[in-house]
Amino acid sequence: MRILKGGIAFFDSGIGGMTVLAECQKRCKGEIFYYYGDNKHAPYGNLPPAKIRRYVEKAFRKFRRLKVKAVVVACNTVTALCVDELRKKYPFPIIGAEPALYTAAKRGGEIFALVTRATYKSERFQRLLAETARRYPAAKVSAYPCDLLAGMIESHITDPEFCYERYFPSGEPNGVVLGCTHYIYIKEAIAAFYQCATYDGNAGIAKQLCATLQKQTNANKRSGKKSKKGQKRVEKGAFFGIFFLGSGKKGNKRLYKQMFVL
């Protein structure tokens, strides 16, 4: 299969990042997308950081070969662990996924932030927690590393009967931050369990991506370069404008169709 170069890449350990891709695809028309899911090694949340970095590097080397326009790290865990290192190393713009703590905390009250163990332990997330407490003292944010939840979603996503409740921390929060892109698949179940609003960063990521692409288009125009967007492009091998890559490409393609296309 010939993979067209110059698209926008999305990366996640597994299925989670497709929730982000779906949101971005709605907003960025006429683009080529890559979805790289490393499902074979998912979930990442309880793996040692060195191992996660190794898997991420493999994907990013592929993105470099594909001459991507931008990468969306559609994974809170990888963002928390190494987005700054990646930005230093690679020449393309990299957009990360951060737990939507500010949006939730603005409203005050008790907020639960559900994250993976690796995110919880990261310096980046701990800094975000401290900054949220400083900015929004009327909110009380409690962070919970949910060790099994992402893995359960990864393996039971197509089973509508599966009950995730036993993996939710108990309490009565006023808002829940979905700090892992896998959790977005079950946001209705989470909202129903706690009887409160949930918050995720997907709309923010899509907005950021559009702004990044617009900036590139403007810069290309100024320098007289032709922008690839809008050109008639052969999409052989792409499914709905997406090339699926990585160890989970077949399953992810199927799931994307089931969840986001039909």
User: Tokens standing for 101?
Assistant: 């703590």
The reply on whether position 8 binds ligand DGL by CB under 6 A is no
Could you tell me which stretch among 43-51, 123-131, 185-193, 203-211 binds ligand DGL (CB under 6 A)? 43-51
CA-to-CA distance for 181 and 20, rounded, in angstroms? 7
234: Cβ–Cβ under 8 A, 6 or more apart, which residues? 4
Nearer to ligand DGL (CB atom), residue 97 or residue 139: 97
Binding of ligand DGL at residue 181 (CB under 6 A)?
Answer: yes
Closest separation between CB of residue 94 and ligand DGL, Å?
15
By the rule CB under 6 A, 200 interacts with ligand DGL: no
Q: Does 9 bind ligand DGL (CB under 6 A)?
A: no
Please pick, among 24, 82, 180, 196, the residue that the annotation labels catalytic. Answer: 180
99 makes contact with ligand DGL (CB under 6 A): no
Interface with ligand DGL (CB under 6 A), residue from 25, 116, 122, 132: 116
Query: Is 180 one of the catalytic residues?
Result: yes
Q: Is 24 a catalytic residue?
A: no
Nearest to 43 by CA among 17, 10, 9: 17
Residues 11-40 that bind ligand DGL (CB under 6 A): 12-14, 16
The only residue of 31, 34, 68, 77 in contact with ligand DGL, by rule CB under 6 A: 77
* Out of 44, 55, 125, 168, the residue judged to bind ligand DGL by CB under 6 A: 44
Min CB(240)–ligand DGL separation in Å: 21
**C-alpha span between 207 and 210 (Å, rounded):** 5
Whichever of 42 and 206 has its CB closer to ligand DGL, that residue is 42
Question: Which member of 24, 75, 146, 196 is catalytic?
Answer: 75
Least separation, in Å, of the C-beta of 52 and ligand DGL? 9
User: Which residues are CB-neighbours of 70 under 8 A, at least 6 positions away?
Assistant: 8, 9, 92, 93, 94, 95, 209, 212, 213, 216
Interacting residue ranges for ligand DGL, rule: CB under 6 A? 12-14, 16, 42-45, 75-77, 97, 116, 119, 150, 180-182
Residue numbers annotated as active site: 75, 180
